[in-house]
Chains A and B, each alone.
Chain A
Amino acid sequence: MTEPGSASPPARPSRIAAETPWYELFSRGARDWLRHNQKVREAVRGKLPELLAGGDLITNPQNRTVLVPVRFMEHARFRLLDPGEHTGAGQGKGEPGQVLRPASQKDDEGAGEPGTEGGEVRFVLEFNLDEIVEWLWEELKLPDLKPKRSATLDEPDYVREGWDKRGARSRLDRRRTVREAVKRRAMQEAPLAFTNEDLRFRQLVRRSTPAINAAVIFALDVSGSMQEQQRRLAKTFFFFALQGIRRQYARVETVFLAHAVEAWEFQEEQFFQVAGGGGTTASSAFRLGLEVLDQRYDPSRYNAYLFYASDGENASEDREAAAGALAALAAELNYAGYVETDGSAFRPKETQMGELFAALKDKGGPAGAAKLASLDDVWNAIRAFFRDQATAAA
């Protein structure tokens, strides 16, 4: 080893290599960035209920992903307390006391403070909704839905099964056909590219499959006493209840009913915009629900669910009718859930609707009730319903 400072010529001349073939092949930075994102996902997952309770995520149920704004994770180091006033060395004209930058300008670029890496940068992670619901179910430790026993009747349907040399053109299996052609060409001298013998068609057979359909009725009280905030709570709850049901069934059909004195069916898009007025007659919604079920959703083929959101008030003269209609409807349901969107502080402890659902449950009906005062309650309600439903089905 040469002693530092002794001026001897280098042992060999410096050289230059131009070929750098492998550098483009692998990015360590990207690898560690992906690992960071994975950790963020895990962290987000832990706090999912709070994050999703932000509410605005549920704008477009057709969009199967949600964007969650997240912060970079910080790898902590020992650091001194923020002194409030930073000092540093700079260069340029100016007398002591001269203002270089006025206050309240949140741009610390180039401020040269140790540790501030260009301010706070946020980024957005895209989460798949199915993934979120999956996490949520784990997080809330929710049981899977149980299809009604009577609804597990077999339903014959066409399924793909096997291949044939003849069939409809639309069912030509190109991949198989090419495979056959390749096999044949390997055997022949001077082969043709394709022959009719190569063609393979998918075959369909009629087979019985278990019923995996669900019909979900969302009923909403849109009478004058329901306020905007209460509707939002109901909407959030409905959304996640639906996600939970979608998770279990291959095909889920939804029915949206709104009622004040009378009940109507709506499209999903209009459902939450509906504003009614006047009194409240819940029996109308239950009757309409039953009608819809009878007409469209054969109970032997569909697992039916009802979720009803209301502020709990109902016309007192409707009590008997509502109890009767609910009981009739409940007989055809896997489960009936009631959420009470508790808006005002001045209200009786037990509302009429609350009592009706409680009575139904006491009689062994598949029913449950929960109150929604804030977004936090949505998670409790979801948890309660899916647990309830599991015990009711057992």
Chain B
Amino acid sequence: MTTGDSLESYIAELEALARRLGLDHYPVDFELAPSSLMTEIAVYGLPIRMPHWSFGVRYIHQLVRQSMGHSRIFEVMFPGDPCHAYLMDGNTLAENTLVAAHVLGHADFAKNNLLFARFHEQAGGNIIEMAAAHARRIQQAIDEFGLERVEAVLDAALALESHVDVDMELHRSPYPTRAPERKDPGAKDAFHERFDRLTTGTEAEPPPASPQRLPLPPHPEHDLLWFIAQYGPDLEQWERDVFFAVRAEALYFYPVFACQIMNEGWASYWHARLLREAEFLPQPLYLNAIKSHSDVVRPFASGAQSALAVNPYHLGFTIWEHIAEKHGMERARQICRDEDDFGFIRNYLDRELAGKMDLFTYAAKSDGEIRVAARDLDAIREAILAPKFNYGAPRIAVTELCLDGALVLAHEHNSDGRGLDAARAKKVLEYIHRVWRRPVRMNTVDATGEALELAA
């Protein structure tokens, strides 16, 4: 029996076992991929994605990391119906068996977690095809309009990648252009009919002659990609499409981003459990696989005493084991459905677990000195979650689309706690300006807290 054959039969048996244990997932298309493709997926987030020079920089960083042995990619899974999982063809059979079990955990999570399910419902279950279609359309645009022009649009759109409103739908309709009309005076309810009969003789107040044009946007709009694509006065249709494509991919990435700890923990919990209960696996293979498992979920590199980051696999795995033990699988599945990392960490990382895991917060000064700051639970939770707020980006909203077409952005420095890096912000405004083509302004504060207006 070849490696592929035994892997295939193990996967079939693991899947049957998973179903018996209550996992519920869309079918998974597994594929053995060369490490070159795995590297690209790690860089682009998707097997086929639009071209942009910034990915080239990440690609080199990734190659450097891999060559130094810091990074090894075992598996990537794309949720959908069917899910697509890429296993590295250089993995051993034991590793790939473990990874396949891990993927089944992800597949279950992606079908049941509401953030994932919501995107699945809106976009249909084939993100790979969708991204490939985007890439193809962008390539067509490059052929038609030239690389420089398309690149300028992608410079802006990808820079704003995280600036989407994740609570909004994938296909969002524009704001109503007029104030909602007063109810048709003809269609009166019973109360008004009786009321009118009481006050005989007086005419009903006529509706205002011209309904006022509503200000744009009617409220601060955080969905910058959508707003620019929807309301950019001088954008061509293909440019809007590029923005919508980047936005769709950003909405796809959001559940992965916002549930990373839960999702990796859930998959790790299930690969451990599936392997433990998989009596069909030969003993040596099980031992090798479980050794890989302990490498994946260990808190810090072997030999180290501490780590300045919390391994999400380890953190999620520990919390899920705790939940399953203390509250039972029924409850665990409900949490898996309803929460994202914010709720998961705040509700289920308790003092006992934080103590058991030796979690702490640290402070790193600019001179390089790093100290343990505290072992306070709230501080730990917030330090874990801080990089995840607002999709990891500063809170920035469109506040006004002026009559001359100027775009006014505001940075909500009060909620972010400090101002923006002005040089980078100016660069981004320049990217936007090249597409928006009218003035772009932005309000934030400088290092001293003084109001600062940037413009491009």
Contacts and interface: CB of A to CB of B under 8 A. Distances in A.
A83 B418 CA distance: 8
A9 B19 contact: yes
Looking at chain B's contact residues, the main secondary structure is mixed
A3 to B, nearest CB: 9
Contacts of A118: 61, 64-65
A24 interface: yes
19 contacts: A18-B31, A23-B37, A24-B36, A28-B55, A34-B56, A78-B393, A79-B424, A84-B365, A87-B361, A90-B307, A90-B372, A91-B357, A91-B360, A93-B305, A99-B370, A99-B371, A103-B369, A114-B392, A118-B64
Contacts of B89: 20
Contacts of A92: 299-300, 304-307, 358, 360
B238 interface: no
B335 to A, nearest CB: 12
Among B31, B49, B158, B396: residue with most chain A CB under 10 A: B31
Interface in A117-145: 117-118, 121, 123
A319 B373 CA distance: 78
A91 B300 contact: yes
B11 interface: yes
A73 B374 CA distance: 37
A247 B447 CA distance: 51
B60 A98 contact: no
Interface in A143-169: none
Given A28-B55, A111-B309, 17 more contacts: A2-B26, A15-B30, A16-B7, A17-B32, A18-B32, A20-B31, A29-B44, A29-B55, A30-B56, A33-B59, A35-B56, A79-B425, A84-B366, A87-B362, A88-B309, A90-B360, A118-B64
Interface of B: 4, 7-8, 11-12, 15, 19, 22, 24-34, 36-37, 39-40, 43-44, 48-49, 51-65, 70, 81-82, 89, 111-114, 117, 121, 147, 155, 158-163, 299-300, 304-311, 314, 333, 337, 357-375, 380, 383-384, 386-387, 392-394, 396, 411, 416-421, 424-425, 427-428, 431, 447
A5 B34 contact: no
Interface in A27-58: 27-37, 39
Contacts of A14: 11-12, 15, 27-30, 82
A69 to B, nearest CB: 15
B53 A32 contact: yes
Interface of A: 1-2, 4-18, 20, 23-24, 27-37, 39, 72-114, 117-118, 121, 123
Contacts of A12: 27, 82
Contacts of B63: 29
Contacts of B162: 77
A82 B417 CA distance: 12
Contacts of A96: 360, 371-375
Nearest to B70: A109
B419 A80 contact: yes
B369 A101 contact: yes
B43 A17 contact: no
Given A17-B29, A23-B34, A77-B424, A89 B309 contact: yes
B372 to A, nearest CB: 4
B382 to A, nearest CB: 9
Contact of B53 (A73, A88, A90, A106): A73
Contacts of A17: 29-32
B358 A99 contact: no
B57 A75 contact: yes
A75 B418 contact: no
A85 to B, nearest CB: 5
A20 B387 contact: no
A183 to B, nearest CB: 41
Contacts of A8: 24
A112 B308 CA distance: 6
A79 B24 contact: no
A301 B9 CA distance: 83
A111 B364 contact: yes
A98 B4 contact: no
A28 B29 contact: no
